[in-house]
Structure 1
Amino acid sequence: MATLKDLPTVLLIEILSRLPTESLLRFKSVCKFWYALINDPINFSFQDKCIFIKRRVMVNFQHFTYIPSIIKFSLAPDRSMSILDVNNPFSYTAFFVICGHSHGLVCLSFNRDIFLFNMTTEKFHKLPLSILHYPGDIYDIDFSSTNAVGFGYDSKSRDFKVVRVVEFGSQYGETNLPARVEIYDLRKKKWREIESAVCGRVTRAPTPQMHHKGTYYWWAYKEGRTNIIHTFDMSEEVFGEISVPNDVVNERMEYISMGTLNGSIIIFHYSKTGNEKTFDVWEMEKDVVLWSKLMTIGPVFGVEKPLLFVNSDELLMEANEGRVISYNIKTHVTKVLPIKGLPCVFVDTYLDYSLVQY
């Protein structure tokens, strides 16, 4: 009599993919083969799609707070959706930043504090404090601050990494000391410093950033305030820079965002004012630093800014009054999602729901 172990791997994946996440987590302990099979994001990249979104809500008439929420889209024919609010680990500040995601882990940071959030277990893990410092009696350094944080997956070492760029200064003005860089290896559970020249400066305010296929991308600037995309290769552990389309070289950060579409990196560039807005979408050719305008969306009434593509046709956008809508770029049909915050506050990242644990 045939058993499950006799099934072709492709058929076994097809069967497992129809099970709820909770069952898959239990089945990982059946044997080493099942553990590797279920834990491989390539096999289960077609699991439910999720968005990790930060929204601002009023606590009372005078105060507000930020709530991290998970919007989960089912790929089943009924296209159901659920929303889950999670506890904010930064209870002392509203200004934490989403610093990338990979395989169901999301990185959140505020200055020295960095957390990893597991989408499957819905738990936070706080990383140890930075190891970087200059002795004040030698360099007259009064403080250090985080310039940039990025999180991603290194396919060579098969490990997750957090990269942190640290700046140093004094209360009497800027110093000439270069920024220093440290990396946290998730398996080793510790920081280490690396020697790698930084190509640009990421602004302190929340800016477009993301992890994509082993590289982290920040929107940054060079001397003269010229915009660039600052990159970090998670495997080679080196920084780089990518030029941006001429239309956005000198554009302000609040009118730009980054994302992906059909495996390519895209830039959203959107209009500043008016009830009817248009959005240009620029696409970078794969493996080539060459931009082309892919499409112009709109004008769309009552929309503030684009958020991300759920698939090749469906774009999520922040509408006025703090709403989120789904917009089909082919049919132009809109659908209001049952999630709301205060206007112009959404920060988002698109995730494949996977089963990685740490």
Structure 2
Amino acid sequence: METEAEYSLGIFQDPTVSSETQMENAQSSAILPTLPSELINEILLRLPVKTLLRFRSVSKSWLALISSPQFINTHLSLSANNKDYTHHRLILSLSRPNKKNLNVCSVRSLLKESVVEPCGLDCPLKDKFQILDSVNGLICLMVGVEAFFIWNPSIRKFKKVTAEAVERYGQKVFGFGYDELQDDYKILRMCMTTSYELKVELYSLKSDSWRIVDDFPAGRRQSGLAKLVNGKLHWVNFDSHPWGNEGDIISFGDIISFDLADEKWGKLEKPCYRKRDFCNKLGVLGSDLCMFNDYENTFADVWVMKEYGVKESWAKIYTINFSHDISKYCWSPLFCKSNEGEVLLVYGSRFMIYSPKDDSIKYLELANFKFGFDANFYVESLVFPFANDPRTQQ
């Protein structure tokens, strides 16, 4: 059967139409309007990655355009700031013995529908791994504490990063982020060695090398993954001790930060929350750092630092009352706010839509998906900062 394109270009010969008429139709169809290059560029910038990957084969000029750094960065900016979350995805991992299966679903679907069915996602790793974080469409995966994979699932490219083996004991903290100043992606690894020495290392994708980071404040920290806000990695302190030349004190619950640009440590004071038993976790709401205080597994306060680095800007914006027991869900929460003001909250394997208007919670159902051990948001992008690296794999 003829295609629409074939018919419109006069390739398909209709036996019911005379040859003269068919020739006239073909000639008129061949005179197609030519769009200005600026308009073509604007249209392409708003298309999904999957379509753009196909369109690279249209012509050499389209291949050059879609592969250019300016196009990739502009496409990323438009996709990341799309208020309908058209290009945002939630990646989920299903734990199995000695391996993980990855699934993905549309954030827009989670905000709009009550039942969502995740789709399978091909993963370059066969071993069991952990999702560190995502930034600019790149997801950092970790196997053990020595192997990391910087992966763009939208274009199916990844790079393996190997760290020096370390005999670790107890505490281990990791982070992945983007240094906008240097246009560099970095991985932070902190491990307590068997000799009780806290070893801090930083990997730079641009130099493709690891190096030791000094001046880390002594003391016990929360084991886990850092949150990236304002170009800095953050995690909660779980001990009180002196820090700095003037005897500055890091209190229980204060937030330790690491600036990926100048590679300096800092601290942010916690909000003045109520004095009850709680478990506080860091999160990101929009582009702001937030703190999630879970009280007695029944309700939680959500605080947002509206002006980064200013303690007085902490504001409690939600108090969420749970109708289900969440005591067994101890992961840091994921937040996403819709245009209508509703908040998508991913907490362990609970998927909830919280409405501040009437203080209600709607629990979402993920078809054929029972347990999300790791979950993270990412935006589909063409970002590929290691294009010329021969060790990059597909």
- TM-score between the two structures when normalised by the length of structure 2: 0.67
Match of 2:323 among 282, 298, 301: 301
Corresponding residue for 1:43?
78
Question: What is the number of residues matched between the two proteins?
Answer: 318
Match of 1:158 among 171, 183, 206: 183
**Residue in structure 1 matching 2:145, options 91, 97, 111:** 111
| CA distance in structure 1 between the partners assigned to 2:320 and 2:303 by the alignment | 11
Distance in 2, matches of 1:36 and 1:351, equals: 20
TM-score w.r.t. structure 1 length?
0.73
Q: Structure 1's 44 and 148: CA in aligned 2 closer, same or farther, altered over 3 A?
A: same
Aligned to 1:20: 48
Identity over aligned pairs, percent: 22
Aligned-pair CA distance for 1:151? 0.8
Q: Which residue of 2 aligns with 1:191?
A: 210
Query: CA RMSD for the aligned pairs?
Result: 3.6
Q: Which residue of 2 aligns with 1:140?
A: none
Q: Give, as a single letter, the amino acid of the residue that structure 2 aligns with 1:239.
A: W
Do the aligned partners of 1:66 and 1:88 also contact (CA within 8 Å) in 2?
no
Of Structure 1 and Structure 2, the greater helix share is in 2
Match of 2:238 among 221, 230, 233: 221
C-alpha spacing 1:229/1:105, structure 2 compared with 1 (3 Å): same
Give the CA deviation at 1:266. 1.0
Relative to 1, partners in 2 of residues 1:193 and 1:65: Cα closer, same or farther, differing over 3 Å? closer
Aligned to 1:289: 310
Change (3 A) 1:111 1:184: same
Cα 1:333–1:301 change in 2 (3 A) is: closer
**1:69 paired residue among 103, 112, 118:** 103
Instruction: Compute the displacement of 1:217 (Å).
Output: 1.3
1:180 has 2:199 as partner: yes
Q: How does 1:1-358 map to 2 (within 5 A)?
A: 3-7=35-39, 12-13=41-42, 15-27=43-55, 30=62, 33-34=65-66, 35-40=68-73, 41-45=76-80, 46=82, 47-56=86-95, 66-74=100-108, 83-86=118-121, 87=123, 89=125, 91=127, 96-109=129-142, 110-130=144-164, 143-144=167-168, 147-170=172-195, 174=196, 177=197, 179-198=198-217, 201-204=220-223, 206=224, 209-223=226-240, 226-247=252-273, 255-273=279-297, 277-290=298-311, 291-298=314-321, 300-302=322-324, 304=326, 307-311=333-337, 312-318=341-347, 322-330=349-357, 332=360, 334=362, 336-339=364-367, 340-342=369-371, 346-357=373-384, 358=386
C-alpha distance in 1, partners of 2:159/2:284? Answer: 27
Counterpart AA for 1:295: Y
Q: Which runs of 5+ in 1 are unaligned?
A: 134-142
Q: Quick one: structure 1 residues 107 and 39, their matched pair in 2 at CA, closer, same or farther if it must change by over 3 Å?
A: same
* CA distance in 2: counterparts of 1:154 and 1:250, whole angstroms: 38
Amino acid at match of 1:284: M
Higher alpha-carbon deviation: 114-123 or 80-89: 80-89
Q: Shift of residue 153 of structure 1?
A: 0.6
SS at match of 1:202: coil
Q: Which residue of 1 aligns with 2:29?
A: none
Post-superposition Cα deviations, 1:281-316, rounded to whole Å, max 9, x if no partner, equal: 111132233222222122x31252683222242222
CA contact (8 A) 2:111 2:353 kept: no
